[in-house]
């Protein structure tokens, strides 16, 4: 009986959302992919990665794909961290209401999601993202990442609480 109530409730919420969307009464903004999404779509492909920083140096690999009609890009990342296998996933898109890029990162080391938002500077070809993370001591700390787009890859820098933490030099595979 409880399962039936949950199923019916879920169907009602779904139907209400669909009806609201069709009537233009939801907070969602239907938008086709624009120039901001095309910027992310150009990154689709496979990469080798050279990781450096506070935790040492290692090699890695990444695969970036464009999904959901070109509105989002997903980066799948694999490497090692302190001698152990490490995987992570980043979902990136552009929020037309905020007029900012938005992302969320998660990985095999922490159970926390890390949301970030930021802007792209066309002159320097750099995407700068900011968010709140947990530092090595478990306390909240501002995280800033910059991704400099290059012809055959990109260069990623991460700072936590203004201290350099990690770099990743991505090179596109042929």
Q: What is the CATH number of domain 35-172?
A: 2.40.128.20
Domain borders along the chain are 1-30, 35-172
- pTM of the full structure: 0.79
What was the pLDDT predicted at 71? 94
Average pLDDT for runs of 10 along the chain of length 174: 47 46 57 89 95 90 95 95 91 96 92 93 97 80 94 93 92 92
What was the pLDDT predicted at 50? 96
Six-digit token string for 127: 């995407």
What was the pLDDT predicted at 25? 52
Q: Give the helix ranges, DSSP H, for the chain.
A: 2-22, 35-41
Q: Which residues pair with 53 in a beta bridge?
A: 166
- For residues 88 and 54, give the distance between their C-alpha atoms in angstroms, rounded to a whole number: 18
CB-based contact 76:105 (threshold 8 Å): no
Strand stretches in the chain, DSSP E: 45-53, 58-67, 72-81, 84-95, 100-107, 114-121, 126-134, 140-150, 153-160, 163-172
N-term to C-term CA, the chain = 56
């Amino acid at each position: 009986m409880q399962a039936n109530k949950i199923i019916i409730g879920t169907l009602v919420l779904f139907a209400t959302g669909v009806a609201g969307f069709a009537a233009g009464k939801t907070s969602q903004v239907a938008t086709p992919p624009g120039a901001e999404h095309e910027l992310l779509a150009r990154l689709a492909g496979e990469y080798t990665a050279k990781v450096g920083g506070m935790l040492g140096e290692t090699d890695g690999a990444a695969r970036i794909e464009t999904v959901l009609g070109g509105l989002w890009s997903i980066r799948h990342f694999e490497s090692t961290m302190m001698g152990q296998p490490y995987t992570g996933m980043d979902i990136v898109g552009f929020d037309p209401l905020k007029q900012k890029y938005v992302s969320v990162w998660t990985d095999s080391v922490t159970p926390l999601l890390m949301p970030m938002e930021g802007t792209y500077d066309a002159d320097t070809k750099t995407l700068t993202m900011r968010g709140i993370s947990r530092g090595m001591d478990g306390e909240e700390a501002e995280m800033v990442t910059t991704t400099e787009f290059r012809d055959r890859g990109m260069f990623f820098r991460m700072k936590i609480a203004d201290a350099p933490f990690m770099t990743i030099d991505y090179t596109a595979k042929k």
